[in-house]
């Protein structure tokens, strides 16, 4: 059955004389009650903070009261389709109060005709002309309907009905129009709030999803670096041992040097991944001790000297003429300087120039009882490839690289400078990078408040500060324990190996270790259980238990109470780390 158009419905209502809007202006107008309106508006303003249903109900209650009506209500149209074809009574008061939710057709209802005409309309005996009003329990003398404006289309209509012969006039129209405008404002505010909350929810969901992806990425990096360290550890220690064993064979040493150089590059990449993960977990710590700045710089120079020589680069270093004592983490400070030097070597062409200058006050000039740290300023200049202006503000961002850097085979991961800035900040220092553009070189300045008065003697760069010790290695990875055991033995230590917890317990019956290096993740009896058993063993009362782990989330600092271990170290442990553990 075809639908009746709205214009047809309007014509039929007009022919039946049901549309009597013209009488509003012909009737005697009652006097305005501004006091009642003011009180009503005050109540409506308070209702704006309530739920939608409460706010709309307050509106229709107000319309009922101010218009002396028998029923009042709000008909909202379905805004999800255009044009709308259905109205719903969403809030009702008076005799129609029980009809909330009632649906009305837009093409044959007082609200539909009112919206078609675009102005307030008065209907006489509308129940006789509109079937949709049949559920109203009483006869309807008149119904005054006012559009509720909206953008891009009206929200619907606000209406009042009389059931006892009461007639509406132009004053009722004015009041109802004001309430309809208020309804529009209220609905617009609610819609804007709902849209804002939806967008905020979407933004929060996006942030959570991004955070989850970032967390998974960091966990993947930590796991990847752990898996890479497992094979790299035995290879590195085996190479070190082989170089000591091949001391009299230049050709073998030359081949081993090539392999060692490539392994060191791999180790650096893996270490960068680990450091990135530790920064994410807040686990990248510094352990400040007293040391000589000159020794730290020389150690950093040693790390890049061979590569600079291979590239025929001129590496010029200027140090203070006097020994400078610093209170800093020597290993981390060496990492900072060697990373910056490595970047200069990597991005400076063959035969290029690299200049490193260290300025620091003479500790002798610091008053005896003055403990305030003085600044050491490290300046590094090169005439290398430089940095583009658009890249310069982002050089310290994690994984940030310029396209020209990514195009180079030895471009790295874009992690190093982020780690450098973190370590400089951990020393309460500052770092700045300046470049006039690509092809114009780079200058890096590091300012560190680490210089102090305490005097130290120079130490040999190859000394680990560790007396020969009795060491127990426990790891189910046979290659890892064999290579590390060989290196430690060549360094003068007495080493025993075990590939399981029970085997380790058997060894300590006749071998009392000074230090036990225990892999945490072993099948059967894991590292934690073995540590507990060793603690209970009478022979191991003074043994220092060190957990070995490849995961970046673990700390290099002393282990927490109740963990069973005195320290955690990353696999494979360096001789410097072992010296730190033995010194306590």
Higher pLDDT, 285 or 320: 320
Say whether pLDDT at 463 is over 80. Answer: no
Lowest mean pLDDT among 145-149, 179-183, 185-189, 505-509: 185-189
> CA torsion sign, 576 to 373 to 395 to 553?
positive
Kindly tell me the burial class for residue 519, based on how many C-beta atoms sit within 10 Å of its own C-beta (0-12, 13-18, 19 or more): buried
Res 124: pLDDT: 93
Lowest mean pLDDT among 170-174, 245-249, 303-307, 551-555: 551-555
Residue among 273, 442, 260 at smallest CA distance from 347: 442
Q: Mean pLDDT over residues 96-110, rounded?
A: 88
Q: Residues, the chain, total?
A: 584
pLDDT tens, position by position, 254-288: 777 767 766 765 666 666 666 666 666 556 667 78
- Please give the domain boundaries of the chain with CATH numbers for all domains: 6-194 (3.30.450.40), 286-451 (3.30.565.10), 470-583 (3.40.50.2300)
- 523 close to 476: Cβ distance less than 8 angstroms: yes
Res 483: pLDDT: 75
Distance, CA of 430 to CA of 245 (rounded, Å): 44
Higher pLDDT, 3 or 508: 508
> CA torsion sign, 299 to 300 to 304 to 308?
negative
Residue among 109, 149, 231, 107 at smallest CA distance from 572: 231
pLDDT tens, position by position, 78-98: 755 555 578 999 999 999 999
**Omega within 30 of 0 (cis) for the link into 48:** no
Between the alpha carbon of residue 395 and those of residues 343, 390, 398, the distances in Å are: 12, 10, 8
List of residues 6+ apart from 195 with CB closer than 8 A: none
The alpha carbon of 569 is separated from its chain's Cα centroid by a whole number of angstroms, namely 27
Res 549: pLDDT: 78
Res 266: pLDDT: 67
Q: Which of 54-63, 186-195, 199-208, 210-219 has the highest mean pLDDT?
A: 54-63
Higher pLDDT, 389 or 570: 389
List of residues 6+ apart from 413 with CB closer than 8 A: 269, 272, 273, 399
Q: pLDDT band at 358, cuts 50/70/90? A: very high
Distance, CA of 425 to CA of 418 (rounded, Å): 11
Q: Mean pLDDT over residues 328-333, rounded?
A: 84
Between the alpha carbon of residue 439 and those of residues 320, 386, 395, 404, the distances in Å are: 31, 5, 16, 11
**Omega within 30 of 0 (cis) for the link into 152:** yes
């Amino acid at each position: 059955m075809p639908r009746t158009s709205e214009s047809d419905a309007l014509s039929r209502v007009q022919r039946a004389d049901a549309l009597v809007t013209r009488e509003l202006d012909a009737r005697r107008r009652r006097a305005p009650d501004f006091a009642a309106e003011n009180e009503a508006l005050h109540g409506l303003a308070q209702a704006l903070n309530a739920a939608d249903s409460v706010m709309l109900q307050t509106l229709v209650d107000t319309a009922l009261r101010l218009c002396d009506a028998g029923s009042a209500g709000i008909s909202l149209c379905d805004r999800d389709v255009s044009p709308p074809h259905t109205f719903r009574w969403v809030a009702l008061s008076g005799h129609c109060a029980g009809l909330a939710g009632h649906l009305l057709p837009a093409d044959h209802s007082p609200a539909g005709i009112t919206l078609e005409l675009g102005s307030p309309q008065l209907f006489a005996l509308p129940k006789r002309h509109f079937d949709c009003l049949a559920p109203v329990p009483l006869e309807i003398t008149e119904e005054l309907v006012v559009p509720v404006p909206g953008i891009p289309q009206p929200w619907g209509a606000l209406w009042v009905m009389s059931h006892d012969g009461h007639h509406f006039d132009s004053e009722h129209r004015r009041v109802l129009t004001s309430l309809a405008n208020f309804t529009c404002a209220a609905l617009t505010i609610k819609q804007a709030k709902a849209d804002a909350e939806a967008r905020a929810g979407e933004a929060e969901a996006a942030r959570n999803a991004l955070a989850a992806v970032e967390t998974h990425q960091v966990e993947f990096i930590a796991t990847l670096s752990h898996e890479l360290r497992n094979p790299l550890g035995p290879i590195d220690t085996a190479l070190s041992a082989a170089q000591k064993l091949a001391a009299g064979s230049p050709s073998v040493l030359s081949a081993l040097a090539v392999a060692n150089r490539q392994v060191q590059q791999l180790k650096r990449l893996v270490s960068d991944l680990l450091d990135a993960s530790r920064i994410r977990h807040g686990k990248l710590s510094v352990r400040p001790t007293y040391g000589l700045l000159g020794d730290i710089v020389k150690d950093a120079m040693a790390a890049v000297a061979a590569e600079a020589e291979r590239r025929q680069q001129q590496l010029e270093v200027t140090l203070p003429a006097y020994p400078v004592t610093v209170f800093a983490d020597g290993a981390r400070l060496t990492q900072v300087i060697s990373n910056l030097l490595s970047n200069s070597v990597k991005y400076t062409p063959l035969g290029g120039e690299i200049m490193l200058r260290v300025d620091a006050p003479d500790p002798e000039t610091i008053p005896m009882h003055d403990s305030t740290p003085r600044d050491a300023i490290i300046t590094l200049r090169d005439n290398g490839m430089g940095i583009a202006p658009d890249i310069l503000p982002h050089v310290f961002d994690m994984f940030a690289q310029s396209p020209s850097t990514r195009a180079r085979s030895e471009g790295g991961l874009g992690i190093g400078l982020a780690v450098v800035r973190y370590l400089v900040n951990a020393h309460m220092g500052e770092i700045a990078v300046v470049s006039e553009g690509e092809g114009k070189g780079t200058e890096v300045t590091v300012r560190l408040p680490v210089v102090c008065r305490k005097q130290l003697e120079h130490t040999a760069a190859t000394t680990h500060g560790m007396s020969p010790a009795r060491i127990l290695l426990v790891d189910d990875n046979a290659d890892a324990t064999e290579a590390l055991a060989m290196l430690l033995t060549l360094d003068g230590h007495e080493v025993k190996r075990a590939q399981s917890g029970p085997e380790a317990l058997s060894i300590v019956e006749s071998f009392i270790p000074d230090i036990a290096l225990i892999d945490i993740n072993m099948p059967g009896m894991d590292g934690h259980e073995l540590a507990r058993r060793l603690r209970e063993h009478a022979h191991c009362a003074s043994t220092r238990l060190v957990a070995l782990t490849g995961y970046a989330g673990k700390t290099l600092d002393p282990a927490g109470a109740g963990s069973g271990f005195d320290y955690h170290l990353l696999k494979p442990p360096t001789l410097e780390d072992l010296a730190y553990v033995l010194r306590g």
